[in-house]
Amino acid sequence: MPSLNPTRNVAPTPQKVADYIILPLTLPSLPSLQTIAKHYLYIRPHAPKLPDPDSERSLFIANVPIDATEEGFRKLFAEQFDGGRVERVEFEASVPQYPTTRKRKEGSGGQNGVRGKKRKRDDAEVVAEGVIEDEETRLPRVWGREVRESGSSAVVVFVDRASARGVMKEIEKAVKKGREIKWKLDDENGLGVKRYRTHHSLTFPPKPILQASINAYLTAFNRAEIARNRVRARQRAVPDEDGFITVTRGGRNGPVRIEDAEAAKEKLEERKKKKGVMEDFYRFQVREKRKEREGELRRKFEEDRRKVSEMRERRGRIVPMS
Amino acid sequence: MAPSVTKRRKLSHTDNGDEDDAPFSERFGGSPNDTDLSADDSTEVEDAVESDGSMASEDEEAALAKEEAHEGGRGKESIVNQKIRSQARRDPNTNKRRADIPLDGVYTAEIFKSNMFKLQVDELLEQVRPEYGQKQAPAENAMRSLKAIIERIPSRDPLSVHDAERYLMISSKVATPFPHPRPPRDAKYKLQYDRPSSINVAGSYPLKMATSAGEKLAIDLVITMPSAMFQDKDYLNYRYFYKRAYYLACIAAGIKESKEHKFKLTFDCLNGNHLQPIIVVSPSGDGSPDDFSGSKCRIHIILAAAEQTFPCGKLLPEKNCVRPTCSDDENSAKTLDPTPIYNATLKVDLSVTAYLKLLHATSSRCDAYKDACMLGRIWLKQRGFCSHIRKGGFGNFEWAAIMAMLLQSKPGAGVPLLSSGFSSYQLFKATLQFLANRDLSRVPFVFEANDTNLTRTEGTPIFFDGPRGLNILFKMTPWSYKLLQQEASIAVKMLADSTFDQFEPTFILRADPLSYRYDSVLEIPILSLIQDINEENFNKKFSETCRKLYNVLLRALGNRVTLISIILPEEETWPLGSSKPFVNREGRLLLGFATDSVNSERTVDHGPAAENKNEAASFRKFWGEKAELRRFKDGSILESVVWSQKEGSGPILKQIIQFILRRHISADVADKAIIAGNQFATLIPSGDIVGQSGTAPFLSIMNAFSALEKDIRNLENLPLQIRHILGADPQLRYSSIDPPRTVTHRQMSIPASIIIQFEGSGRWPDDLAAIQRTKIAFLLKLAELLSEHNPELTTRVGLENPSYPSQNQSFLDITTSSGHSFRLRIHHEREATLLERRLKDKTFDGTSREAAALALAVYKSSFLRIPAHTQAIQTLCTRFPAVSPSIRLVKKWFTSHLLTPHFAPELIELLVARTFLQPYPWNVPACATTGFLRTLFWISRWDWRYTPLIVDFSSAEERAGMKADEPTAITTRFEAWRRIDPALNRVVLFAASNLDPEGATWTDRARPAKVVAGRMTALARAAVAALKDNESMIAAGKASLLALEPEMLFVSSLTDYDFVLHLAPRYTRAGKAKKEARADNSMFKNLQLQAEADKGGELVGYDPVTLFTDELQEIYGHAVIWFYDTEGGDTVAGLWNPAMTARRSWRVRGGYSSVPLAGTGTRRGKGEEVTGEVDGVEVEINKEGILNEIARLGGELVERVEILKK
């Protein structure tokens, strides 16, 4: 087997790194690529900084293959690790990366909003922009099956704690014994041409469905807009603890057109210009102006001289091509 | 400090200020060469020339006597210095007087083109000026010893021609280089050798006007023959030249016999004029004391005669000096044909001193003259001109002499054309203007000789120098003069360009390579033109044939060509012992044609009207059976010629040339001639310019687009009024490699993007996401209305960019029944404001502001820049017919080298647009091949790290282009980018135009990355080098014109990559097209139509390969640099990004699939087993794993993964 990483033969692959078990997966041999290759998962019991009830029965897996799916992991653990039952898999990153639509939690800042779209200063219930999308209001999906980013991670949530622990032990055993674990091709939910063909069809959702989604969104948006306006009105009216009144958008009909403001500013400047004193009225003005111009010319000349000498340093001499 | 006028004066010399201060003696007489060589020092400048009048050269510029330089020069110095001083004294007053004039011109802007231009010119002159002194010392030693040897050569008594020649051959093995025809055996005159009356170094070398760029310097050693040798009538019938040849042979024999040296001697002809043989002395190269190879020069030994040897009047151009052999009757001379070239050649030998005087006087009178001569030299050299008869007959000497005469006032004619107060640049430019604007072949320029009546030959220019009685341009041919005129007018045009400095095209670039200068080249073996090449009067016959060839082609092609040029093979020097070799039997004549893109493919040539009997008869005689009488739509009945446009009949230019050669030259010539023109155009579909435009293959899509626009505008019930509908796609600007729809490919596979903008309205939501939804609602409405309005249109709304919610989310695909597809997107201005606001809003986190910045860039390019760019390119394509095929060819080149994923199509289009908008030093390209090759040439020289690309679309319009400050602003922006990003991680190429002064629109975010841009340059350089090699092979007669296969420039080896994915052809666009074409031939028409109807446009825009490669970019873009053909090729190549693939310590979030390795840390302890400590484990990119992943992702799309490097 030709190896792309010749250095790997120098020493055996390590089995552990930090508190992660390194689990080698044997990749399937393919018609287009006959070599036998391995993929390495880094696995440990899930231990997030802010534990939640699910973390006890979860495993954290780093470096998942790009074609990993929930189904794929379910099968992997069920078939090769003695019946570990997977409830769900949460992937860290995928392609395409859909904006998350989870609801923002009270007091937790703007972090888990629609990808940072919400502003921290806003009232809890009201989203600063857009609407929080749900099944109904979001745009139809255009990809049938997602793929993962290279080197990204996933959290596998098992049905119970025992299951998670059992699987972890099983993995440790397998690694120690050097049992071959296989990463299987998922034929039903195929990749390749079939997936792209599906994507092409999904790109053009039927008009009624699309229309329905748009309608739902716009209705929700109007509702949100009303709520926002109310919040703003309140902020305008009520001073906060320090006695300040928050300046907010609105207060009159429609947003201010920046273009208009700029046009007005320009006009004002023009008017100022016209009114101004003549610039070449006094002798000293003329003299100064000339001096300035001379200085400018000299500066430019020096600049050009510098450029040419730089050019010479860089390219050597200026010589006609032969 | 107010810049004084003194300063101004200094700058107006091309010399640097400090050089000006140097004593003139140093610059003039101080060099060692003038110390020894001259035996007698003369005291007065004028006398030096007149009394001594001995040395001179007709070769290069004319000559400056050593003697003169020596003492006389010093005398001169004081005068000049005084002059300068007195001027300086006057300066304060002048200064005061000028005080109120704006001082914009103080720093050279007026007297030079710009500061940059002037500084570069200074630098250039500095570089090409040969180093006098140490380096030239060996050459000067060599000249001294040559002089000593020649002076010691004993005289030879007069002998008859036959005896003299034989004796010389036997005693010294030197063959006398007699010109043809050889002297008659029964000649009554005798040949002899006497000590020369003077020997001197002459030409540009002692004048310090020589340039040493590339070629070897030639130093002229002029030997003046004693007048006593000649008789009154020796100017007749070559007698002077026979005597001269014998004299030269005697000198050669004398040097050869001398034992004191090891020089290598050969014969050559001065400027290719076979009447004037010379001796070329080259260094022995063996390190002996005489060896002067270190000086990088050759010494030419040239013969001259005293001015008064023959009466001046006998040698005027209209006189005959070669009497027919049959009659000796002097009285019949008046009816004999004049022999201008013979006369002028003889005159040149006699007037060496006179020109020496003229040039020296001019250079001392006009400070900038020498520098202007040097600029002229460089300019001529870069265009392939020199004094050599076969290379135009216009060289350094001609340039210097013309300028010298233009500097003198014509008595009675008012102010001279040039003024001695001009700067070198002004002199140079004004001389070019003179050359460009005057047609000297029609209106001769006569200098101080009003009574002379000049006989004119068709097309030959005349610049008659009265006082010296010589037509300076006598060596020029009609075609070389036309070429010179054209080059001069191009130069005048480019020097008038106020936006760019054009220094490089004027002086640095070579304009003469065949493949850049000409659109078509014709090759004719000389043997087929003239069978008997050993004939005595071969030269005469040959030049007559060339002239005839030129004339018939000129008449036949008319305004289809702008230039016809004949390029003759070079002649070589020959050894002393043999006679001048005859023409090389393998020699070939090359004819270059610069075509006029609008006229060259015209099918019908209109001749004179039928009533016009004489002209009609001449027309019929010229065209023979091809001429026919036709009645045209406007009722006129004209003689005309019609050419075939059928496939297989070849380009019309080729048809005409073939026909004309057969009719007027000979069938043999027509058969053996090879015509090469626009060879590269065959590489792209419909690459030839058909009829009068290069945009024909795009006609149908443009019509379909305007029909659709009309349909949309006619819709009623649209909620908002339409502001505009704009094309935003290469297919809508004539620049996609494949035309959108062909006979075999009825359905467009990629929809052409268009942009629609509605009038402003306050009812749009003020929220990014909501705007996207509203757009979809609009598109749905539009689709519904369109289908109602025109049932032949198929519409469907599609979604895009699911990962980037702030970018455009939707589009509308419209497919017409004719098979055209368009992808319509809505442009809403408010998006930009909202994105900008988000960008500035500090309450957003970094990622979403980054996303906003990206979305803003995408918005700007897709809704503002691309439509504007599309319109600009559209205009350009209709203005210059060759733009469209050139762009497509250049894109083909990029895509063949798998570079297209890294280069925005707009960027490539800009590169080509530059070739057309700043074509200098050439004219605008007239066919795809020249457009393509010149673009490659420019890319190969593009120093993108330090130079921005600036394209000025407005320069094509009537009102002249960009204002002067615009390029400056762009350059400032460019420099700013380089300052913030010196490592070129973000913006590598910088391409701005007047429409897009930001310059990074197409190249931001490392598109292309540095390594890819480097590859582009390397590939372009390789291509340019291949062309150059090929060209020198052609010039040397070693390769045929067609030796270079166009495909060669489009193939690069895959071995440079780490791995290659071979895709299954049935999924690639190219593969599909092939299959379709095959099916087209085999299937019945009705079945085929049915099959197409079934598809119903469902698959329009479906391209699995593109989806796959896009995903590869997105998933592995940071770890692998991908190279593939975006036009449907089946190869995807990859390079592991060395920055990402290096071994490093383990991390949870690796960013790519990794393979753990026992780190170096564990290997330290020998007995220790591999443990799981963090510091003990390192990772490397898992190459095998990733390739396996890629193969899984591609599925059946990937046929084979080939690993090239491990």
Q: Where are the domains of chain B?
A: 5-128, 134-508, 514-603+643-677, 698-870, 881-1052, 1059-1203
Question: B415: exposed, middle or buried (C-beta count within 10 Å: 0-12, 13-18, 19+)?
Answer: exposed
A181 touches chain B (CB under 8 A): no
pLDDT exceeds cutoff 70 at A125: no
In this prediction, residue B77 carries a pLDDT of: 39
Please identify among residues 232-291 of chain A the ones whose CB lies closer than 8 Å to any CB of chain B: 254-255, 258, 290
Is A307 within the bounds of a domain?
no
Nearest CA in chain A to B1200: A32
B717 versus B401: which is more confidently predicted? B401
Average confidence (pLDDT) over B776-792: 92
A45 touches chain B (CB under 8 A): no
Please give the Cα distance from B347 to B314 (Å, whole number).
Answer: 10
pLDDT band at B1084 (very low <50, low <70, confident <90, very high): low
A300 touches chain B (CB under 8 A): yes
In this prediction, residue B568 carries a pLDDT of: 85
pLDDT single digits (tens) A19-36: 888 999 999 888 888 888
pLDDT band at B1112 (very low <50, low <70, confident <90, very high): very high
Q: Helix or strand or coil: residue B1074?
A: helix
Helix B905-917 vs helix B883-896: angle between axes, to the nearest 10 degrees?
130
pLDDT band at B936 (very low <50, low <70, confident <90, very high): very high
> Which range marks the domain in which residue A191 is found?
6-98+141-202
Find which of A34, A36, A150 to mutate to test the B interface (most B CBs within 10 Å of its CB): A150
How many C-beta atoms lie closer than 10 Å to residue B968's C-beta?
13
pLDDT band at B959 (very low <50, low <70, confident <90, very high): low
Please give the Cα distance from B217 to B204 (Å, whole number).
Answer: 10
pLDDT single digits (tens) A173-198: 888 888 888 888 766 667 888 889 88
Q: Among A71-80, A244-253, A294-303, B351-360, which is the least confidently predicted range? A: A244-253
pLDDT exceeds cutoff 50 at B802: yes
Q: How far is B122 from chain A (nearest CA, A)?
A: 10
A321 vs B510, B777, B1148: nearest CB: B510
User: Is CATH 3.30.565.10 correct for B1059-1203?
Assistant: no
In this prediction, residue A187 carries a pLDDT of: 64
Q: Which of B420, B517, B344 is nearest to B919 (CA)?
A: B517
Chain A residues in contact with B1102 (beta carbon < 8 A): 196-197, 200
pLDDT exceeds cutoff 70 at B20: no
CA distances from A198 to A11, B241, B393 (A): 45, 90, 72
pLDDT exceeds cutoff 80 at A317: no
pLDDT exceeds cutoff 90 at B435: yes
Q: Which residues of B542-569 are buried (b: 16+ CB within 10 A; e: fewer)?
A: beebbbebbebbeebbeebbbbbbbbbb
In this prediction, residue B1162 carries a pLDDT of: 43
Dihedral angle computed from the Cα positions of residues B558, B563, B569 and B570, in that order, rounded to the nearest 10 degrees: 150
pLDDT band at B636 (very low <50, low <70, confident <90, very high): confident
Chain A residues in contact with B8 (beta carbon < 8 A): none
Please give the Cα distance from B105 to B96 (Å, whole number).
Answer: 16
B799 vs A65, A139, A151: nearest CB: A139
**Residues whose CB falls within 8 Å of the CB of residue B319, separated by 6 or more in sequence, listed in order:** B313, B333, B338, B339, B343
In this prediction, residue B976 carries a pLDDT of: 94
pLDDT exceeds cutoff 70 at B516: yes
Please give the Cα distance from B371 to B619 (Å, whole number).
Answer: 50
Q: What are the beta bridge partners of residue B221?
A: B201, B301
pLDDT exceeds cutoff 50 at B5: no
Segment holding B802, helix H or strand E = none
Please give the Cα distance from B540 to B68 (Å, whole number).
Answer: 41
Most confident stretch, A170-179, B6-15, B861-870, B1124-1133: B861-870
Q: Which residues of B575-584 are buried (b: 16+ CB within 10 A; e: fewer)?
A: ebeeebeebe
- Cβ contact B603:B642 at 8 Å: yes
Please identify among residues 72-111 of chain A the ones whose CB lies closer than 8 Å to any CB of chain B: 95-99, 110
Number of domains within chain A? 1
Average confidence (pLDDT) over B800-828: 91
The pLDDT mean for chain B works out to 81
pLDDT exceeds cutoff 70 at A217: yes
Q: How far is B43 from chain A (nearest CA, A)?
A: 39
**Class for domain B881-1052, per CATH?**
mainly alpha
Is A226 within the bounds of a domain?
no
Please give the Cα distance from B477 to B460 (Å, whole number).
Answer: 6
Most confident stretch, A103-112, B410-419, B576-585: B576-585
| DSSP summary character for residue B302 | E
Q: How far is B594 from chain A (nearest CA, A)?
A: 23
Is A225 within the bounds of a domain?
no
Angle at B18 (CA atoms; ends B17, B23), nearest 5 degrees: 115
B762 vs A130, A254, A322: nearest CB: A254
Q: Which residues of B440-474 are buried (b: 16+ CB within 10 A; e: fewer)?
A: bbeebbbbbeeeeeeeeeebbbbbbbeebbbbbbb
Looking at CATH, the fold of the domain delimited by B514-603+643-677 is given as Alpha-Beta Plaits (3.30.70)
**Sign of the C-alpha dihedral computed for residues B267, B268, B270 and B273 taken in this order:** positive
Paired tokens of B1113: 């970019």
How many C-beta atoms lie closer than 10 Å to residue B9's C-beta?
18
- Strands (DSSP E) found in B1059-1171: 1059-1063, 1120-1124, 1131-1136, 1144-1145, 1154-1158
The answer to whether the CB atoms of A301 and B1114 lie below 8 A apart is no
CA distances from A221 to A125, A212, B373, B848 (A): 14, 14, 78, 21
Average confidence (pLDDT) over B915-938: 93
Chain B residues in contact with A307 (beta carbon < 8 A): 116
Is A284 within the bounds of a domain?
no
Strands A154-158 and B190-193: unpaired
In this prediction, residue A101 carries a pLDDT of: 42
**Would B514-603+643-677 and B1059-1203 be classified into the same CATH topology?**
yes
Look at the block and give the residue holding tokens 């005595």.
B536
pLDDT exceeds cutoff 60 at A103: no
Is A70 within the bounds of a domain?
yes
User: Is CATH 1.10.1410.10 correct for B134-508?
Assistant: yes
pLDDT band at A155 (very low <50, low <70, confident <90, very high): very high
pLDDT exceeds cutoff 90 at B781: yes
Q: Among B558-567, B1013-1022, B1040-1049, which is the least confidently predicted range? A: B1040-1049
Is A159 within the bounds of a domain?
yes
ipTM: 0.82
Most confident stretch, A211-215, B35-39, B1081-1085, B1137-1141: A211-215
pLDDT exceeds cutoff 80 at B95: no
Percentage of residues of chain B with pLDDT beyond 70: 82
Average confidence (pLDDT) over B464-489: 90
pLDDT single digits (tens) B121-134: 888 888 888 777 77
pLDDT exceeds cutoff 80 at B1081: no
Average confidence (pLDDT) over A290-312: 85
Look at the block and give the residue holding tokens 């931001």.
B1004
Percentage of residues of chain B with pLDDT beyond 90: 29
Rg (CA), chain B: 37
Is A251 within the bounds of a domain?
no
Please give the Cα distance from B339 to B190 (Å, whole number).
Answer: 25
Q: What are the beta bridge partners of residue B1198?
A: B1063
CATH fit for domain B698-870, picks 3.30.460.10, 3.40.190.10, 3.90.550.10, 3.40.50.1000: 3.30.460.10
pLDDT exceeds cutoff 80 at B484: yes
CA B50 from centroid of its chain's CA atoms = 45
pLDDT exceeds cutoff 80 at B67: no
Is A285 within the bounds of a domain?
no
Q: How far is A249 from chain B (nearest CA, A)?
A: 11
